[in-house]
Structure 1
Amino acid sequence: MLTWAGLLTVLAVLTGCTGSTPLFGDNRSPGDAIRIFPEDGAENVGADSRIEVTVPDGRLERVKVTRMEDAEHGQVPGRIAEDGRSWAPDKGARRLGLAGKYSVEVVAVDGGGRRSARNTSFTTLVPADRFIGYFKPENRSTVGTGMIVSFDFNRPVRNRAAVEKAIRITTDPAVEVAGHWFGDERLDFRPARYWEPGTEVTVDVGLRDVEGAPGVYGSQRKKFTFRVGRSQTSLVDARAHTMQVRRDGELVSTVPITAGAAKTTTYNGKMVVSELHEVTRMDGRTVGFGGEYDIKDVPHAVRLTKSGTFLHGNYWESPDTFGSDNTSHGCIGLRDVKGGSSDTPAGWFFERTLVGDVVEVVNSADKTVAPDNGLGGWNLGWSRWKAGSALR
């Protein structure tokens, strides 16, 4: 069994994490030198709209623009200018796809050599009489055993039964999969228990010409697949300040952690990894904490909820914090070094984590995470889950 008790070293001065509101602000957040166009959360972006990333000084280190949550997943080709101050798509690059969702991931280095990161997204125009569903996981991905198939629709669905019936999920080996609606714009699917490792899942989206609401018809007819990888589940005990990591049911590591402080506790319950970022920015002004923190280079960030709960590397706390005290603003912190390292607990965990892995928190003073906060549907029992189907 591995243990990380001897790996801790002293670094840094800040405290920072997110609580229960969205993490990323818009492009005008104070102190954010990275400028991205279209703005974060922009909707109805035209196919020929400008895409641009700039910094006033320093240089761009990495820019990645990707069509996501769609079977036509692909990266927008582009390049950083010779002076390092801007990025733009290659000349002659294909137009943006209509009815698509795009992510923009940027890492920059300022004049003092300090790294900063931004992660934004925008959606492109959908014709007024059409609706689509942005979905996860990605086509042809390998995921953890807790993955939930999730559709976010761009318009309210009134005819839920017709829409749910038009999405067919088949598995090998065969297992019952049921849908559950969270309001009129979100439909999730899962089996009764975590997927078996090695399961092959095919999702056939037959929404084209399905009337989702009066006069509004679906425009998608596509198929995507994913494979379930090995089983990895992690149990975070907020009172004991530990995280037990299990592979295929066997305990492989007990990692010291720090969770949410008394006034900013961490949610209890089962949370599913939905994003992985080698480095990202966490700014207290975007989550209601004022100027308490602004950490531009948080390493090894693993998103657990839509509202902003992460499991991430922490290089600013003293080493005796991990395993003994809860000091964060709601996230789960693992020991790391500035810039991130694979030799730290955070780096070790990040490199062994898949989207779809489950992290469960117990013994926190907070409530259980809501089932629609991220991929939190495992916090509903099977009977309650099936009761949320329009086909019951």
Structure 2
Amino acid sequence: MRRGLAVGALGGALVLMATATGCSEGKSAAAPAAGNAAAALPSAPPAKPTGSAAVVSIEPANGAKDVKPAGALKVSATGGKLTTVKVTGQDGKEVPGAVTADGLGWAPTAGHLEVSSTYTVSARAADASGVTATAESSFSTLTPTKDAGTSDNINDGQSYGVGMIVSVSFDKAVKEKDAVLKGITVEASDGTVVKGHWFGDNRLDFRPEKYWTPGTKVTVHRRLKSVETAPGVYGGADKDEPFTIGRSQISTVDLNSHRMTVERDGQVTDTVPITGGKSGFDTWGGVMVAEAMEGTTRMTSNGVTRAGSGDEYDLVVPHAIRLTDSGTYVHGNYWSGSIGSANGSHGCIGVQDVEGGSDGSRAGKFYNSTIVGDVVKVVNSKGDTVSPENGLSGWNVPWGSW
């Protein structure tokens, strides 16, 4: 009995012990601790993408040739925003440009590249995660085969009168007028504002609002070499042309009094008897400018009078100062009895002279005192006002319309 009880008791103890062990395991922190340990570990950062969502595109494509200097260069981004764009010419100079406000595009601010040049482009963009993408390109611009035939009426270092107008002409009609206008600037040493005005498709004139100030240094900057003036046509060589404004000489021709009053730097220096255009051949009214000093010139009535009208003439004229393209002059006159008393010419302004011309005559003295750019203003004409494109007569256009 005791042995059996002992065994039972022992068995009970084992059971208890087993139960106790089981309770101990049930209450143990080991199982929950494993879960808590996992929860306590720091979160692993999400893996960064191996590539950028941003894509950079460059036009023209790498290796492109004969690229137009204007409008062809473009850099853009999708899936991100541009951060840097660098365009470098073959001379090592960087092309100025700007990224758009939305960061999606870039274009040169200068408007056009140079012809016959090679450019390299390097661009970078970043996506929303900051991962960047890059692209590079190299291309060359075209070499022009057609020239606009650009020229003007300025001689380097020359001195001109206060009424001088810079006139730029083109052999081929200009279609891109705004681009050409941006490509020519006229700089004055005293800061005078100078604006351009188109007369048709082949002529662009420049002047300030009022006559130039004597002594002003002026430079014409022509930057048309890389400007497309018309499809496939470019503006020719770039050049700078400096000139100076000399003393002021403004002469007023009064067709009623038959006198020309000459003012030098604001002071009357001479009053000269003249003859102007007779009825039917009235001298143009308005402001004209001496555009050429032609000296002795042959003048005929071809295109002026009708054959058999009695108004034909064929004369060798001394001291001829051209005022208009259509043939208005101040010139020496040795054949008319109307000087100082009536208007008897075919439109020109005649001043007393001798045949062959004399420096001592009234015409000779006026000629020798005149330079290209001097102003000749005609008042009391019974004819029309001179057309502003006839010679350098643009002063007849109001500044607001220039």
- Is this a same-fold pair by TM over 0.5? yes
Q: Which amino acid aligns with 2:190?
A: P
Deviation at 1:322, TM superposition (A): 1.3
Identity %: 49
What SS does the aligned partner of 2:302 have? helix
Deviation at 1:175, TM superposition (A): 0.7
Q: 1:169 aligns with which of 186, 195, 203?
A: 186
1:271 is aligned to 2:285: no
Match of 2:374 in 1: 357
Q: 2:329 aligns with which of 310, 318, 329?
A: 310
Q: 2:207 aligns with which of 190, 206, 209?
A: 190
What SS does the aligned partner of 1:346 have? helix
Deviations 1:27-85 (A, max 9, x none): xxxxxxxxxxxxxxxxxxxxxxxxxxxxxxxxxxxxxxxxxxxxxxxxxxxxxxxxxxx
Q: Which amino acid aligns with 2:319?
A: H
TM-score, scaled to structure 2: 0.62
Match of 2:386 in 1: 369
Q: 2:154 aligns with which of 127, 137, 140?
A: 137
Q: Is the 8 A contact 2:153 2:166 kept in 1?
A: yes
Q: Is the 8 A contact 1:236 1:360 kept in 2?
A: yes
1:240 is aligned to 2:265: no
Q: 1:345 aligns with which of 340, 362, 367?
A: 362
What SS does the aligned partner of 2:178 have? helix
1:205 is aligned to 2:207: no
Q: Is the 8 A contact 1:340 1:347 kept in 2?
A: yes
Q: Which amino acid aligns with 2:322?
A: R
- Matched residues in 2 for 1:295 and 1:341: separation? 20
Which is higher, the Rg of structure 1 or of structure 2? Answer: 2
- Matched residues in 2 for 1:286 and 1:205: separation? 37
1:285 is aligned to 2:302: yes
Deviation at 1:169, TM superposition (A): 1.4
Deviation at 1:237, TM superposition (A): 0.4
Structure in which a larger fraction of residues adopt helix: 2
Deviation at 1:194, TM superposition (A): 0.3
Q: Is the 8 A contact 2:154 2:241 kept in 1?
A: no
- Matched residues in 2 for 1:154 and 1:128: separation? 15
Match of 1:147 in 2: 164
Q: 2:233 aligns with which of 191, 212, 216?
A: 216
Deviations 1:215-255 (A, max 9, x none): 11121211111110000000000111010000011111111
Deviation at 1:290, TM superposition (A): 3.4
Q: Is the 8 A contact 1:281 1:294 kept in 2?
A: no
Q: Which amino acid aligns with 1:159?
A: E
Deviation at 1:294, TM superposition (A): 3.8
Q: Is the 8 A contact 1:200 1:227 kept in 2?
A: yes
Deviations 1:257-297 (A, max 9, x none): 00000111000000000011220000112434437444342
Q: Is the 8 A contact 1:136 1:151 kept in 2?
A: yes
> In the TM superposition, what are the counterparts of 1:1-392 in structure 2 within 5 Å?
129-290=146-307, 292-318=311-337, 321-385=338-402
Distance verdict in 2 for CA 1:216–1:381, change over 3 Å: same
- Matched residues in 2 for 1:306 and 1:238: separation? 21
TM-score, scaled to structure 1: 0.64
Q: Which amino acid aligns with 2:370?
A: T
What SS does the aligned partner of 1:366 have? coil
- Matched residues in 1 for 2:251 and 2:389: separation? 20
Deviation at 1:331, TM superposition (A): 0.6
Distance verdict in 2 for CA 1:190–1:293, change over 3 Å: same
Structure 1 runs of 4+ off > 3 angstroms? 286-296
The structure showing larger relative contact order (alpha-carbon pairs under 8 Å, at least 6 residues apart) is: 1
Deviations 1:177-209 (A, max 9, x none): 000011111100000100000001111111102
What SS does the aligned partner of 1:285 have? coil
RMSD: 1.4
Match of 1:72 in 2: none
Distance verdict in 2 for CA 1:358–1:369, change over 3 Å: same
Q: Is the 8 A contact 2:150 2:236 kept in 1?
A: no
- Matched residues in 1 for 2:279 and 2:213: separation? 37
- Matched residues in 2 for 1:289 and 1:341: separation? 32
Q: Is the 8 A contact 1:132 1:220 kept in 2?
A: no
Q: Which amino acid aligns with 1:251?
A: V
Match of 1:80 in 2: none
Of 323-332 and 164-173, the range deviating more from structure 2 = 164-173
Q: Which amino acid aligns with 1:332?
A: I
What SS does the aligned partner of 2:275 have? coil
